[in-house]
Structure 1
Amino acid sequence: MPIYNEYSMAIRAYNYWKDKPGFLLDADRYEYWAIFAVEEGSFEYTINGYTGQAAAGDFVLCPPQTDFHRRLASGWLTFHFILFDWREGELGEEERKARGVLSRFPDCRFRLLDDDRTLSTLAHFRRLSHSTPNSSFLFKLREHLLNDLWLALYLESVQSAKASPSYQDPLMIEVKSAIQELAYQPFLLMDIAERFHLNKVQLTRRFRRSFGVNPMDYVTQLRIKKARSLLSGSDQTIDRIARSCGYDNGFYFARVFLKHVGLTPSQYRKTHMI
């Protein structure tokens, strides 16, 4: 009979790397499943012959005993490194389906549609990394967070399968992914439009029709969500947070933040600091 009070995913190792200037090894392989959860920066990777780039909010999953090639795309990288394994035991059909959700990403990269949940969960992981005692309870808390991410991903996939949108523009799905990769650094929408052989007007119209929001408004949403997480969960300066979110300086970032949140970054930090 299944034991329902045990988490399915068992954490074997965990580390939080902040402002890492590069990887110690260009390639590695692990005994267990490995997850790289990117908080800031970006890196390029190759797993099972597939090459991709992961940015803030992305999770890269590498199967056991598989070569994992990686290098920083630019600057520095802040990420959570998690090794996990599946606990053995009798599996029902539902859990078998839920575990299978991780194999639906041939590029080994996934992200939750609920960006707020991702930011919140990574913030909890980050806070737990500062806890001194390496107790069994600390491991249990981390396993709770990891299993919550997996089950949230599964629920999103179930919801997505039940939904019946009239039409999803395949090209705009690619555009959205490209925007997510570039969202936290300065970039021009025109460059993305040219990359997909469109002009800015065509891209904006098709993107809004697909997702109900203009491309640059979507970028601002992503940046504000990340800024809120960093303001409440870190002691970084406003200027540093501005650069981490893709803004050239703290002054312009503060204006954008005030417009969308109704508070200055400093006011938000005072009222939301954990």
Structure 2
Amino acid sequence: MNYPLHSAFYFFSQDKPKFVLPVGRDEANWMMFAVEEGSFRFAVNLIEGVIGPGEVLLCPPGCDLHREVIAPLTIHYLGFAPAPTDEEEGYELLEWIKETSSYRISVEDKGRYYSTLQRLKQTFDKQDRFSQQQNIHYINDLWMLLSQEFALRLQRAKPLPDASMLSARQWLEQQAMRPLLLQELSLHLNMTRVALTRKFRAAFGMTPKDYLTLLRMARAKSLLANTDYTIDHIAALCGYENGYYFSRIFNKHTHLRPSVFRKKFSI
């Protein structure tokens, strides 16, 4: 499976009265602190604040993190780096966090946040292969949740997209389930693919290709759960040339093979 993050380490502490070291630093990895209970005071690159339950602190590599416990902590502490893939979205989000000093985030979807942490906690200090796989999965699930929260924050801070990008999104929604090339959308809007990608990402926080995949995956999940269509037939209904390529994209997007998703979620 291809995950967006590589996990360097993971620790879990309950009722932690203080940090062993008042200043933490990791030269190679991002540090993440996800709080279940308690609170602590922090300072990163002149940004100061308090982290409490349902909140996450991110600290970039090579930065000093000053921290002091205020109330005993139940906390998840992990180190990570973006996995080397052909996608750059993970790198771009981390660069944005550094550029804007957005180190602290209060998670809105508390249910998913605490559910993921509970499952992650069950993998702590276990060395068997299954537990290690689960650990990587839940760390990346937590990251995907944070990515969505950051995307929402960006959307709220941005002005409404211009008419051309609203038209681009509408065109994709209307044409998504047929085989198409994004060059068609470029021609439809009379702009280069580079300009289209840049403007679409600025407007919606993702590329046209990502949005197209999102639409197709939503339809594919519905068809897998609610019909007994073959994988090849679902692939065709979602705009893909064959079941093999569709299965690769589906697995990359959901971390599940279509057949496994169907067994797990079929009605």
Short-chain TM bin = 0.5 to 0.7
Tell me what 2:120 maps to: 125
Distance 1:105 1:77, change over 3 A: farther
**Aligned equivalent of 1:151, options 144, 154, 158:** 144
CA distance in 2, matches of 1:161, 1:83: 25
Instruction: Please tell me whether the aligned partners of residues 58 and 111 of structure 1 are also in contact (alpha carbons under 8 angstroms).
Output: yes
Partner deviation per Cα, 1:233-266 (whole Å, 9 max, x = no partner): xxxxxxxxxxxxxxxxxxxxxxxxxxxxxxxxxx
Q: Which amino acid aligns with 1:147?
A: N
Question: Match for residue 140 of structure 1?
Answer: 133
Q: Is residue 2:45 matched to residue 1:48?
A: yes
Look up the equivalent residue of 2:57 and give its one-letter code.
V
Q: Distance in 2 between matches of 1:161 and 1:65?
A: 26
- Aligned length, in residue pairs: 158
The answer as to whether partners of 2:42 and 2:66 remain within 8 angstroms in 1 is: yes
Q: What is aligned with 1:233?
A: none
State whether residues 41 and 51 of structure 2, in contact with CA within 8 Å, keep that contact through their aligned partners in structure 1. yes
Identity %: 30
Partner of 2:103: 108
TM-score by length of 1: 0.51
After superposition, residues 1-274 of structure 1 pair within 5 angstroms as 5-31=1-27, 32-74=29-71, 76-92=72-88, 94-100=89-95, 102-103=97-98, 106-129=101-124, 133-159=126-152
Task: After TM superposition, give the deviation of residue 91 of structure 1 in Å.
Answer: 2.3
- Secondary structure in structure 1 of the residue aligned to 2:143: helix
Q: 1:58 to 1:159 in 2, by over 3 A?
A: closer
Deviation at 1:140? 2.3
Q: 1:25 to 1:41 in 2, by over 3 A?
A: same
Query: Which of these two proteins has the greater Rg computed from alpha carbons?
Result: 2
SS at match of 1:23: coil
CA distance in 1, matches of 2:100, 2:129: 32
| Structure 1 unaligned spans of 5+ | 167-274
Deviation at 1:78, TM superposition (A): 1.2
Specify the SS of the correspondent of 1:84. Answer: strand
Cα deviation for residue 165 of structure 1 reads 11
Instruction: Report the CA distance between 1:73 and its aligned residue.
Output: 1.5
Go from structure 1 to structure 2 and tell me whether the alpha carbon gap of 1:117 and 1:104 turns closer, same or farther (over 3 Å shift).
Answer: farther
DSSP-derived class of the 1:41 partner = strand
In 2, distance between residues paired with 1:28 and 1:95? 24
Whole-angstrom distance in 1 between the partners of 2:153 and 2:102: 19
Q: What secondary structure, in the 3-state scheme, does the structure 1 residue paired with 2:122 have?
A: helix
Structure 1 CA distance for aligned equivalents of residues 42 and 157 of structure 2: 33
Measure, in 2, the Cα distance between the counterparts of 1:162 and 1:29: 31
* CA contact 1:11–1:139 (8 Å) conserved in 2: no
Question: Which string of whole-angstrom CA distances, capped at 9 and with x for unpartnered residues, describes residues 149-184 of structure 1?
Answer: 222233344455556999xxxxxxxxxxxxxxxxxx
Q: C-alpha offsets along residues 68-122 of structure 1, whole Å, 9 cap, x if unaligned?
A: 1100113x11101101111223225x55555556447625111321111111111
Give TM-score, length-normalised by structure 2: 0.52
Gaps of 5+ in 2: 160-267
Cα separation, 1, equivalents of 2:157 and 2:45? 32
RMSD: 2.6
For 2:130 and 2:97, the matched residues in 1 are separated by 26
Q: Report the secondary structure of 1:73's partner residue.
A: strand
Aligned-partner Cα distance in 1 for 2:59–2:153 = 24
